[in-house]
Homo-oligomer: A and B are copies of this chain.
C-alpha cells in the first residue's frame, strides 16, 4: 500500500472499486463523490492514527443483506443478489488511551444549522447505550460549504434529539456548535486531527 504525504492512500486506476461507478448517471456520481469527502478524510485519518499507534479505530463494514450466493467450482463464492441494510450502530469505533471511542461522521451543505434528520433513531440509541457505559461518544460534523468541522460530545446531540418532539426544532444551530463543540482544523497527517479534540474532551470531564 502506498500513501500520499498527507496520509491518503494511493489507489491505482485499475482499482476494482472503480467499477462501482460504472453505469451511474453523472448526477449520482457527483453526489456520491461529495458524500465521500468527509468519509475519505476520516478514513485516511484513522489509518494514520493506526499506523502511528496513537489509536486503533476502524470503520465498520456496511451491513449487507445477502440473498443469493453462487459457489462456482474452482473459484471464489460470488454474491449475485444482495441489498444494503441500515446499520444499527455508528460507523466508527475503537480504542484510544484505554478509552472506548464511538462516533459518527456527518456532512451538511447547510451554513447555519445541522439537520437532525442526518441521524436515524438506531444510531442515537446505540450512542446513548455506549455513553451509559462510560465510553467517549461524539459526532464529527462537517459544514462542507463553510469548510468547518466540529466535534460535538454526544450528550448535546441527545438533548436536541429528545427535545425535538417538544420544541419542534429539527436541527442544531451552527451557533451551538461554536459554543459547545470543539473546532477541528483540516490539516495534513492526519487531515482531520480529531484526537486532539478528544484529548480536550477527556481533560474537561
Where the two chains meet, the residues of A that have a C-beta atom closer than 8 Å to any C-beta of B are 16-17, 19-20, 22-24, 28, 50, 53, 55-56, 58, 60-69, 71, 76-84, 87-89, 93-100, 102, 126, 129-130, 132-135
Contact = CB atoms under 8 A, between A and B. Distances in A.
A42 B16 CA distance: 34
Given A76-B84, A84-B77, A129 B56 contact: yes
A79 B69 contact: no
Contacts of A23: 71
Given A61-B63, A64-B61, A67-B19, A133 B81 contact: no
Summarize A's interface: helix, strand, loop or mixed: mixed
Given A79-B79, A79-B84, A95-B130, A61 B58 contact: no
Contacts of A133: 55-56, 95-98
